[in-house]
Chains A and B, each alone.
Chain A
Amino acid sequence: MSAIEKMNDADGIAGDAPTAPIEAGGMTVPRWLQALVPIAMLVLLLVVWQAYVTIANVPHYILPSPVRIWQAFVEDHEMLLHSLVITLQTTFLALAIALVTGVALAILMAQSRWIELALFPYAVILQVTPIVAIAPLILIYTSTTNQALLICAWIVAFFPVLSNTSQGLHSTDHNLLNLFELYRASRWQTLWLLRLPNALPYFLAGLRIAGGLALIAAVVAEFAAGTPGADAGLAFRLIEAQHRLNIPRLFAALVLLSVTGVAIFAATSLLSHLLLRRWHESAVRREN
């Protein structure tokens, strides 16, 4: 067909942008430097810390040096890692339940305005009530501490998933909805092929928040409801170390917790990037 040349319109195809260096104050920062700067900063911080503790002769029960913290970790790593696994079990199980229930409820609420009106206020109430305040009550109602911890962490992680997914399901392009109607798509087809894919970026943003919150909530719940013993979580180790004035171990537990939080955030961000990189603006590198 001569009429339609294989033309690409004026601005043509955008193509995959190469890894573009970021701009910083008018200068372009090469990629290797982007990775190096935070690491150098961390090393500098540790060196200064170590030097200060050594020179000023700060006692380790006030502020342990980085080396001392490392030693504490090596010494107690079995106990600490075991506690970390306990806390992570609560975190991930609660997160998994939050994802399933959050998405399910969001879908349910998207089906009918009535259901949404009836249920959404309770989700909000659950969210805004401080978890430490509900924890004692939950402890009374559950038969094991683990269940109580799980419920606490679930309550906190559940809301961002619900509210983001709900927002995503509602913000479907009206013309696309018209198009589906025009082709007589079933409710199920519209949900599966249009509303859910459209809600994916929103859901993933919710997941990133929920991942971090689940860990925080698990730790807070352990503080509020956790019990000592062989299967105590990381929060209990923190309190225990504080009571025993074992400040290096307290620091070690704290660092472990932070690293875990960062790792969860990194993992959910990576998942989000992998799922959205082909099509969503948030994951697409901008090139001007």
Chain B
Amino acid sequence: MNTAIQSTEMPRRPDVRSGQPLVSLRGVSKVFSNGTLALKDMSLDVGRGEFVSLLGPSGCGKSTALRIIAGLGEPTSGTIEWPADAARDASGNPDREIGFVFQEPTLMPWATVAANVWLPLRLKGVSRRAANERIAETLRMVGLESFANAYPRELSGGMKMRVSIARALITEPKLLLMDEPFAALDEITRFRLNNDLLHLWEKFGWTVIFVTHSVFESVYLSERIVVMAARPGRVFRDMKVDAPYPREEEFRTSVVYNENCRRVSDTLHEAMGAHPH
């Protein structure tokens, strides 16, 4: 990370690079009930404040890995390790402080934008009155403050995705898991959301694990790209993207960006041609 860009007014990345990983996968495998080996022996350390992309063809288990990290479905073997100092919930499990953004906006159509964003707090027993300020603040972060009372159907695809991101952010998670969140959007909207996501990440310093099948998106966003291969789903190579933040629109046309894209693209092709022995 380029320290020179640490701006003055931003309380930047408080626990970044404390040495200890935020979450670790140790030999994680997942076999679906139909016998498919979706994920084989995946090990991965994700450091605090890192922006990591899981990149690979469909069937490489990247979404499966993300869901397992989120606690949606147990791994068949292997473990997920959280730091020992992580907060514990009532039943003694690590309170993972996760925000999850699905490929679809996954909003409740009967609830207004504000009520959708309120949901995670509501499930924790926070009243609407008590949550109002945070709802407004979070909507402001994603540029939707004037749409609090709109219903999802009144919004465009990009705006719905912003609501979905706001909902993931309202609990102030340490770890943001994103499962191809922008795949269904048009390119203009996707680029804009890429930029906005990076700005928010730089400002708040959460850890992001971002699943994508786009080489260009992964290089633009991440510090580190985990290229995965399919059948069975596994980690193929762990790559660094050597380019400083902040990355703005100019970065998309830069030589560094292109070189990185070519390198990652080559690796991805290698991964798609590789068969396990």
Contact = CB atoms under 8 A, between A and B. Distances in A.
A198 B151 CA distance: 15
Nearest to A280: B109
Given A178-B72, A279-B152, A7 B106 contact: no
Nearest to A190: B123
B196 interface: yes
A200 B111 CA distance: 13
Given A175-B106, A279-B151, A279-B152, A189 B123 contact: yes
Given A9-B157, A13-B156, A182-B70, A4 B142 contact: yes
B156 A8 contact: yes
Of the four ranges (under 10, 10 to 19, 20 to 34, 35 or more), the interface on chain B belongs to 35 or more
B147 to A, nearest CB: 7
Contacts of B156: 8-13
A59 interface: no
A7 B154 CA distance: 15
Contacts of A175: 102, 104, 106
Contacts of B111: 197, 279
B89 A13 contact: no
B269 interface: no
B115 to A, nearest CB: 10
A178 B188 CA distance: 29
Interface in A174-216: 175-176, 178-185, 189, 193-194, 197-198, 200
Interface string A1-35: 10111111111111100000000000000000000
Nearest to B107: A176
5 contacts: A1-B140, A6-B146, A9-B192, A10-B189, A193-B122
Closest 8 CB pairs of A and B: A9-B158, A4-B143, A3-B199, A9-B156, A175-B106, A183-B123, A11-B156, A197-B110
Given A1-B199, A13-B154, A181-B72, 10 more contacts: A3-B200, A175-B104, A175-B106, A176-B106, A179-B119, A181-B71, A193-B122, A193-B123, A200-B110, A279-B151
